[in-house]
Amino acid sequence: MEKFKSGFVSIIGRTNVGKSTLINSLVGEKVAITANKCQTTRTAIRAIINRENAQIIFVDTPGIHKPKTKLGNTMLETAWTTIPNCDVVIFLIDATSRKNWNRRQNNT
């Protein structure tokens, strides 16, 4: 039998880029709320995938944004503090955003 492996994967990104949707898709169940409203995820949410010889714990985080309130500061701190506690970090961007494409075209 192979050695059992386990690890944490944190998903980081701006608000509304699809972090919770990705988590739900990977796990195959709705474990994280999804909405068009920004900053729906306010705490770190953990979702687990179990395999015969492995376990992956995904951490859905609040979106990275410029906070304007104490709640916003707390949510941002929650997102950043998941990074040192994880084995892998996925930085998710919205590839369909015009803002991202305009920046890319200006840098080339």
Distance CA 100, CA 19 (A): 17
DSSP state of 36: S
Q: What is the residue type of 70?
A: K
Distance CA 100, CA 108 (A): 13
pLDDT tens readout for residues 14-70 = 888 888 899 999 999 888 877 777 666 767 888 999 988 999 999 998 888 888 888
Q: Which fold would CATH assign to domain 5-107? A: Rossmann fold (3.40.50)
pLDDT tens readout for residues 89-101 = 999 988 887 765 5
Instruction: Say which residue, 75 or 55, is predicted with more confidence.
Output: 55
